[in-house]
Structure 1
């Protein structure tokens, strides 16, 4: 009555439906595992230097070099559905035109639970400059260590592990590197 092809089609449709239900259950169960990691973030020094702009050699551009210390225990974020963590240090400030800026100045990928205890002291990995070409008269910036949990199955979740207690002002510009 039923051919072999229709039976194979029925079995594969049933198995794919079961697989989708299992993946949906895994994705929904990730919301049960909520962790709140804590860390410390300290800005040790900021140096603002005037340099030539990349595309316009006759135009000056201010570059900020931020030295920071990060300590954080992110092991509570790892569970059976965590593939990796993406950490990033973000500077939040408002420039003199009143535009709010969020700039990523450092990042790291953590793939294993054993590497999730962060104790790092260094400077920004990426160039930190303002579109107005100067940090003069800019309000102080606040810095935060944020994370992104990348699961095997399900939605990405974002969070914040540490934040500076008070905003840090930009120092006066130095002449050259």
Structure 2
């Protein structure tokens, strides 16, 4: 005869196995579901201005200010396993030394399917600066709207909703110090 503890142990082992199989099935089924959202991205203007670092006020460097328009319909990304979306606008360029840089200049979290139709005219939310302290002689940059689907159960899914068709050059700095 088994004791009460042995019976509880067997029951909890069976229940935890069933829950793990169910969660694994949910995760695999969300990988099968694929959506391809489309959007448009246009860069209106880019300005480069010299400025001072907050931590090091004696140092000057150049900051880029990007004005953009983003329109996208991301509702196909929402299904029964989608918790939220993380959207971000990324600038991709190589610096003077040939090192590839990916800089996030704007982001937004979308939690509901009703908010998944994006129409934003804005500017960069974060400081856009190069490690070399200057955008002089930096090759043109491509801009893209990317997303990250965060599910309730399963792996994170990354994708791209829009991209500029041609690379956009950085202008010369407007003010001199």
Q: Write the deviation string for residues 23-64 of structure 1: whole angstroms up to 9, x where unpaired.
A: 000000011210000100000000100112223322210000
Q: Give the drift of 1:22.
A: 0.2
CA contact (8 A) 1:88 1:145 kept: yes
**Which stretches of structure 1, 4 residues or longer, exceed 3 Å deviation after superposition?**
none
What RMSD, in angstroms, separates the aligned Cα atoms of the two structures? 1.1
> Are 1:90 and 2:90 counterparts?
yes
CA contact (8 A) 1:46 1:170 kept: yes
How do 1:1-150 and structure 2 match up within 5 A?
1-150=1-150
Aligned to 1:157: 157
User: Please, which runs of 5 or more residues in structure 1 have no aligned partner?
Assistant: none
Relative to structure 1, is the Cα distance of residues 116 and 124 closer, same or farther in structure 2, using a 3 angstrom cutoff?
same
- d(CA) in 1 for partners of 2:165 and 2:111? 29
User: Please, which runs of 5 or more residues in structure 2 have no aligned partner?
Assistant: none
- Give the match's secondary structure for 1:11: helix
Q: Between Structure 1 and Structure 2, how many residues are aligned?
A: 177
- d(CA) in 1 for partners of 2:137 and 2:30? 45
Q: Give the drift of 1:176.
A: 6.2
- d(CA) in 1 for partners of 2:112 and 2:6? 45
- d(CA) in 2 for partners of 1:32 and 1:18? 21
- Under a length normalisation based on structure 2, what TM-score does the superposition of the two structures give? 0.97
- d(CA) in 2 for partners of 1:155 and 1:44? 35
Aligned to 1:170: 170
- d(CA) in 1 for partners of 2:92 and 2:142? 5
- d(CA) in 2 for partners of 1:144 and 1:162? 6
